[in-house]
Homo-oligomer: A and B are copies of this chain.
Amino acid sequence: MQTLRVELGSRAYPIHIGAGLLERAELYGEGLAGRSIAIVSNSVVGPLYLARVSATLERAGARVVPVLVEDGEQAKRWQSVDQVCDALLAARLGRDGLVIALGGGVVGDLAGFVAAVYQRGVPFVQVPTTLLAQVDSSVGGKTAINHARGKNMIGAFHQPLAVVSDVSTLDTLPDRELRAGLAEVIKHAAALDRAFFDWLEEHIERLGRRDGEALAQAIRRCCELKAEVVAADERESGRRALLNFGHTFGHAIEAATGYGAWLHGEAVAAGMVMAAELSRRLGLLGAEEVARLTELVRRAGLPVTGPAIAAERLREHMATDKKAEQGRLRFVVLEGLGISSLRGGIDARLVDEAVRSGSPGA
């Protein structure tokens, strides 16, 4: 097991990465005996791992309250928040309780948001079981649900007490979701770390084959990069926004196609190619580097082009993005592989061209 730390003063917390961690009660925190612990999972992950985590916590003397929500992006809505809060209240879980998110990014976002607002905030622990959640969404304290008008529009910053990333859980992950996770791995490298990008070009097929050693190495590097960024900028006023590379385009793809049709990672994959194209049109990135990024995304088994939707329609979805300020679009652009920055006031025509360059129907 490797342990990293997210340095956030009094709210600093560890990220544990390794195989077989679900059964290690001490990783979930101290004082488990007599404590009420809600485990929030979904109808797919619950049957696989809930019994194992419950047994571990009960052996340590905790009172476990299991709550299963539906599978998929549609769980990120108010009805699920209400369902989980209802179960917590019925079980009389107090502010001294604990909420554990057991699942992928959706479960983590939902359970984390519940933990942020239930009785004005209770502690929680992230137990991510997908590659996407292990490399990205479980770290950094962002929680949210979706609104009909946009993804993640209602949420909170609520840091976990700990992140327990058991890489053994990736064994049961469907291929499509593994690939979606690789998109966020590539994002970390493309936005922040040239050497990591080079490493990925060498090892992307090993990751696709679920080589355990390669996966652990990639997860660790992503968590290091993210922990550093989050520690420097918890609430996304500056550097943290760089982690949104590919996400303004990606969120627009998800919104325009209806959440869930494209996996988040798939949308981010195509979005990164568009953002690289935009960077090239702004004179910041060479054609060769765009080609290297596009090729890496393709080798990861991810889409390099967007859906058959008009560029103008995609752009409408960007204006409600949280990164928009007073209606002006801002994008994370690349000034090289591993070097990114935030740019505002970009000409809509260039944005549309970047979308069209990678979109069959636009």
Contacts and interface: CB of A to CB of B under 8 A. Distances in A.
Contact of A78 (B78, B86, B96, B143): B78
Number of copies: 2
Contact of A90 (B149, B155, B235): B149
Interface string A303-320: 000000000000000011
A68 to B, nearest CB: 19
Contacts of A320: 89, 92
Q: Which of A117, A149, A156, A320 has the most chain B CB atoms inside 10 A of its CB?
A: A117
Interface stretch (A46-54, A212-220, A321-329): A321-329
A82 B90 contact: no
A120 B322 contact: yes
- Interface residues of A: mostly helix, strand, loop or mixed? mixed
A34 interface: yes
B89 A153 contact: yes
Given A34-B326, A78-B78, A157 B120 contact: yes
A85 interface: yes
Contacts of A209: none
Contacts of A144: 120
A132 B142 CA distance: 34
A118 B157 CA distance: 11
Interface in A134-156: 142-144, 147-150, 152-156
Interface residues of A, number: 41
A326 B154 contact: no
Contacts of A168: none
Contact of A154 (B36, B85, B94, B149): B85
A7 to B, nearest CB: 18
A82 B86 contact: no
Nearest to A79: B78
A95 interface: yes
A116 interface: yes
Contacts of A116: 156
B92 A319 contact: yes
A36 B325 CA distance: 10
Interface centre among A82, A120, A324, A326 (most CB of B within 10 A): A120
A11 B81 CA distance: 28
A119 interface: yes
Q: Which interface residue of A81, A153, A235, A319 has the most chain B CB atoms within 10 A?
A: A153
Nearest to A97: B326
Contacts of A260: none
A20 interface: no
Interface string A278-322: 000000000000000000000000000000000000000001101
Nearest to A116: B156
B85 A156 contact: no
A157 B324 contact: no
Contact of A156 (B90, B149, B156): B156
Contacts of A238: none
Interface in A113-129: 113, 116-121
A147 B319 contact: no
